[in-house]
């Protein structure tokens, strides 16, 4: 990437595309942004050398937009509501053909097919952590106290459960107490999953255990680093605090922290323990 002066950005929702665009501009790159109408945060515009907004379901026009501006490398950042992928959009002809060819309509299959379409026009989809490597979770204790033996056993069980969930492309997060899964993430997202677990915990208070909730978030097995990376940020820690969760386990090397300084400050503020793990052996 050091010799690339321009990079295309397919920008979804949230702070991820904003952080990337800011880092890329700071590094002297021209960021050519293909935004999604009603999804991409407008705050991205000051970081864009060029920006155009497209309707969800358009494929030909964004590709032409990138080629017009001399882009050869493209990065995807930010979330797109999965419900929008399955309904409420009118695909252009190229996108309709892509969807028709798919054997399944899971997000990863769709994103992989989009990557292939970009490649057909000599546009390389690059690692989503490009220029953000310093924000990837590192193995080991990031914040808080060292986990007890019981907490490590709970984390190991949660890791297996989350990996099984991720392998089915359902979600990436599970919330546990005493090696019992109280909530598993689906379409609602990590924070809503944690909130739901907190509601269950409140109903179970007095059932014999005072252990706080433990949250495990992982990448998919064989995670394609070009898209849909797990992310975490300070808001998740405050959601955990409100839900009664005291520990967060994140997969190292594959999870991006959106705003590392704010994240670590929130960890200190909430007293939440954060552990980076890269395998089941991390808990032994």
Give residue 248's pLDDT.
Answer: 98
Q: Considering the domain boundaries, does residue 1 fall inside one?
A: no
pLDDT by residue (tens digit) across 218-240?
Answer: 999 999 999 989 999 999 999 99
Calculate mean pLDDT across residues 254-279. Answer: 97
Give residue 82's pLDDT.
Answer: 58
Domain count of the chain?
2
Based on the domain organization, do 192 and 237 belong to the same domain? yes
Give residue 3's pLDDT.
Answer: 62
Give residue 30's pLDDT.
Answer: 97
Based on the domain organization, do 260 and 144 belong to the same domain? yes
Based on the domain organization, do 35 and 146 belong to the same domain? no
- Domain boundary among the residues 125, 147, 163 is at 125
**pLDDT > 70? residue 209:** no
Q: What percent of the chain has pLDDT over 70?
A: 94
Collapsing DSSP states into helix, strand and coil, what is residue 224?
coil
Query: Could you tell me the pLDDT band of residue 62, with boundaries at 50, 70 and 90?
Result: very high
Residue found by looking up tokens 């969800």 in the block: 56
Based on the domain organization, do 108 and 232 belong to the same domain? no
pLDDT by residue (tens digit) across 30-61?
Answer: 999 999 999 999 999 999 999 999 998 899 99
pTM above 0.75, yes or no: yes
Give residue 266's pLDDT.
Answer: 98
Measured distance CA(278)–CA(284) in Å, rounded: 12
- Domain boundary among the residues 125, 147, 172 is at 125
Mean of pLDDT over the chain:
92
Based on the domain organization, do 58 and 176 belong to the same domain? no
Q: Considering the domain boundaries, does residue 153 fall inside one?
A: yes
Q: Considering the domain boundaries, does residue 86 fall inside one?
A: yes
Based on the domain organization, do 276 and 167 belong to the same domain? yes
Give residue 102's pLDDT.
Answer: 86
- Strands (DSSP E) found in the chain: 6-11, 30-36, 50-54, 73-77, 124-125, 140-143, 173-177, 180-184, 213-217, 231-232, 245-251, 256-257, 273-277
pLDDT by residue (tens digit) across 83-138?
Answer: 544 455 778 899 889 888 888 777 778 888 999 999 999 999 999 999 999 999 99
Calculate mean pLDDT across residues 1-10. Answer: 82
Based on the domain organization, do 142 and 76 belong to the same domain? no
User: If phi over 0 gives left and psi between -120 and 50 gives alpha, with beta otherwise, what is residue 78?
Assistant: left
- Strands (DSSP E) found in 71-177: 73-77, 124-125, 140-143, 173-177
CATH number, domain with residue 276: 3.40.140.80
Based on the domain organization, do 150 and 11 belong to the same domain? no
Tell which wins on pLDDT, 16 or 90.
Answer: 16
- Domain boundary among the residues 106, 125, 144 is at 125
Based on the domain organization, do 112 and 246 belong to the same domain? no
Q: Considering the domain boundaries, does residue 92 fall inside one?
A: yes
For 159, the domain range is 134-283
Based on the domain organization, do 121 and 144 belong to the same domain? no
Q: Considering the domain boundaries, does residue 83 fall inside one?
A: yes
Give residue 211's pLDDT.
Answer: 64
Give residue 282's pLDDT.
Answer: 94
Q: What percent of the chain has pLDDT over 90?
A: 79
Based on the domain organization, do 88 and 227 belong to the same domain? no
Calculate mean pLDDT across residues 59-80. Answer: 95
Based on the domain organization, do 188 and 267 belong to the same domain? yes
Give residue 239's pLDDT.
Answer: 97
């Amino acid at each position: 990437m050091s010799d690339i002066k321009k990079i295309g950005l397919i920008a979804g929702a949230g702070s991820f595309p904003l952080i990337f665009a800011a880092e890329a501009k700071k590094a002297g790159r021209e960021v050519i942004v293909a935004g999604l109408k009603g999804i991409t945060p407008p705050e991205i515009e000051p970081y864009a050398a060029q920006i155009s907004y497209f309707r969800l379901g358009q494929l030909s026009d964004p590709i032409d937009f990138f080629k017009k501006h001399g882009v050869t490398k493209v990065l995807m950042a930010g979330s797109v509501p999965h419900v929008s992928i399955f309904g409420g959009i009118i695909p252009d002809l190229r996108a309709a053909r892509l969807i028709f060819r798919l054997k399944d309509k899971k997000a990863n299959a769709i994103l992989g097919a989009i990557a292939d379409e970009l490649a057909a026009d000599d546009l390389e989809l690059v690692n989503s952590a490009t220029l953000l490597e310093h924000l990837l979770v590192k193995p080991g204790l990031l914040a808080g106290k060292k986990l007890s033996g019981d907490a490590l056993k709970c984390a190991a069980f949660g890791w297996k459960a989350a990996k099984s969930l991720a392998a089915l492309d359902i979600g990436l997060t599970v919330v546990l107490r005493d090696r019992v899964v109280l909530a598993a993430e689906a379409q609602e997202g990590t924070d809503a999953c944690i909130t739901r677990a907190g509601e269950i915990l409140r109903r179970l208070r007095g059932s014999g255990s005072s252990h706080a909730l433990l949250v495990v978030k992982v990448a998919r097995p064989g995670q394609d680093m070009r898209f849909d990376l797990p992310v975490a940020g300070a808001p998740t820690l405050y959601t955990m605090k409100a839900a009664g969760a005291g520990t967060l386990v994140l997969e190292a090397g594959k999870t991006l922290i959106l705003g590392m300084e704010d994240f670590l400050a929130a960890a200190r503020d909430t007293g939440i323990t954060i552990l980076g793990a890269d395998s089941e052996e991390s808990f032994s």
